Structure 1
C-alpha cells in the first residue's frame, strides 16, 4: 500500500473516530430519552445503509441469507440494542466522560470472552493489563461513591462495554456474512427491539433536540460508520484498533467544553491507564 494512500486512510479513520466521539456530548445535550435516541439513530443509519446497498447493487445478497445467517443477524441486533440503551442510560445518569471511560474497558472484557468462547490463553502480560485497567477504573471513578445515580450509570457503561465486546465475538463467529449485511441486520433488528418501547419515548421535543438527533443519525452514525468501514477494511487491523481508542480523549474533551463535565487528574490518568491496558492486550494478541 502506498504511503500517500495509507495517510489518507489513517486520516479517514481519525475523522470517523472523532465523529463517534461527539456522541456522548450530543446524547447528554438532547432532551430525548434513550428510546427516542435509539429509534432515530437506527432509522436514519439503517435507511442510509440500505440505500448505499441499493446503489452498490448489493441489496440482492439479502435474499440469499440462510436461516442460520438470519439468527446471527437477530442476535447482533439484540445485543447492539442493549449496548446502545445501556450506553445512553450511562451518559444520561453519570456523565459523558465517565460513560466513555466505562465503555472503553471493552478490550479487556473481550480478552475474557475470547478465553471463554475461543479457548484463547490469557498470559502474564494480559494479567498485568487487567490490573492496570482495573486501577484506571478505580482512579477515574474516584469521588462518585456518594452519588448513587452516577454509580449506577458507570456500572451501566461497563455493562455496555461488555456488550460491545460480545458484538466482536458475534462478528467473528458470523464470518460468512459481509460487513454491509451485518451492519444492516444489526441496525434493522436493533430498531425492531427499540420499537417495542415506543410508548416510553418522549417525542414531544424542541427543534434543537430534533436537530441533535439528526446530527447523531446522519453524521455520528451513518457518515462515521461508512468512513470507518472504508478505513478498517484497508488498513491493518492493529492500527485501526489503536486509532479507535482516540474516541476516549475526544469524548472527554468535548464533554468538558460543552457539558461542563469537570476534568480531574484522576479521571484523565484513569482513562489513560485503561487505554494503555487495552493497547497492551491488542499488541500481545496481534493475530
Structure 2
C-alpha cells in the first residue's frame, strides 16, 4: 500500500511537470525548433548518462546497429516523429495560448483508438466513435465556425495542436511494439538522439547563438519537464493499474492551464473552459469504459 501511494504521488508530480512543459512555449521567445533541439539534446545526454551509470551504454548503442533487429535505425526514424510532434506542440502554444495548445493536443487518445483498428486489424467500436465525436464537439465549442475570420490565432493553435496529437498517437502506437524489444530508457534515449539530429537540420540561421541566451530555461525544460517526469512516470507503472494511470494522465492539460493562469494571467475564455471540459469528459469516460470492458473480456 505504501509503494502504491508513493507511486501515485510520483505519477501526479510527473503529470504536473509534463503539463508545465507547455508553458515554455510562452517563456521562450524563440523558434519551436530551437526549443525542441535544446530539449532533446539535454534529454538524450541525461538518459545516456543513466545508461552509462548502469553500465548499459555500450549494449544500448552497439546492439542497436544489428541489421537483424534494426533497433537503432527504427528508433532514429521514430525520433523524427517525436521531433515533429514537439515542434508542432510548441507552435500551437506560441500562436494561440497554453490552454488551446494543451486541449487540442489532449485529443491524441482519440487518434490512438481510431488508428489502432486500421494498423492492427482490430475492430472499431462504437465507443471509439462516440469518444471522437465528443472531442470534436469540444473543439467546436472552443472555436465556433462563425468566429473563423476574427480568431485566426485559435484556428492556427487548434490546427497545430491536432497535428501534434496525431504525431504523438503514431509515435505511441509504434512504441507499443518497440518497447517489447528495447527497454524504455534505451528506447527514449535513441529517439531523443534522432529527434535532436533532425531538428538540427531544421533550425533557422543563427539559431545556435540564439539558444545560448536561453540555456537556463532549456535546461529546466530538458531536466525538470522531460527526463525527470519520464522516469517518474515509468516507475509508477510498476505499482499502479493502467486504468488509474490513464485517468491521471488526463489531468495534464488541467495542470498546465492552472499554472498558465497563475504565472501569466492566461485565463481561458468561457468557450475554451466549456469545450475543454467536454474534451476531457469524453476522453475520461472513454478510458474508463474501455478499461472496464478489457478487464471483463
Q: Which runs of 4+ in 1 moved over 6 A?
A: none
Determine if contact 1:98/1:154 at 8 Å carries over to the other structure.
yes
Q: Tell me the residue number matched to 2:151.
A: 147
Gap runs ≥5 in structure 1 = none
Q: In 1, distance between residues paired with 2:24 and 2:176?
A: 31
Gap runs ≥5 in structure 2 = none
1:211 corresponds to 2:216: yes
Q: Name the TM-score, length of structure 1 as normaliser.
A: 0.92
Per-residue deviation at 1:239?
1.6
Q: Tell me the residue number matched to 1:48.
A: 46
Listed as ranges, the matches of 1:155-166 within 5 Å are 155-166=159-170
Alignment deviations for residues 211-233 of structure 1 (CA, whole Å, 9 cap, x no partner): 22221111111211121121124
Match of 1:20 among 18, 28, 48: 18
Bigger shift: 276-285 or 33-42? 276-285
Match of 1:168 among 172, 177, 195: 172
Q: Tell me the residue number matched to 1:178.
A: 183
Q: In 2, distance between residues paired with 1:18 and 1:203?
A: 31
Listed as ranges, the matches of 1:126-275 within 5 Å are 126-142=128-144, 145=148, 146-174=150-178, 175-200=180-205, 201=207, 203-204=209-210, 209-275=214-280
Q: Name the TM-score, length of structure 2 as normaliser.
A: 0.89
Q: Kindly tell me: are residues 191 and 233 of structure 1, through their superposed partners in 2, closer, same or farther at Cα, counting changes over 3 Å? A: farther
Alignment deviations for residues 134-186 of structure 1 (CA, whole Å, 9 cap, x no partner): 11111123486222233122201001001111111111122212111210111
Q: In 2, distance between residues paired with 1:213 and 1:229?
A: 23
Bigger shift: 115-124 or 96-105? 115-124
Q: Kindly tell me: are residues 123 and 237 of structure 1, through their superposed partners in 2, closer, same or farther at Cα, counting changes over 3 Å? A: same
Q: Kindly tell me: are residues 202 and 191 of structure 1, through their superposed partners in 2, closer, same or farther at Cα, counting changes over 3 Å? A: closer
Q: In 1, distance between residues paired with 2:161 and 2:204?
A: 24
Per-residue deviation at 1:202?
6.6
Per-residue deviation at 1:102?
0.6
Match of 2:126 among 119, 124, 127: 124
Q: In 2, distance between residues paired with 1:176 and 1:211?
A: 35
Q: Kindly tell me: are residues 72 and 234 of structure 1, through their superposed partners in 2, closer, same or farther at Cα, counting changes over 3 Å? A: farther
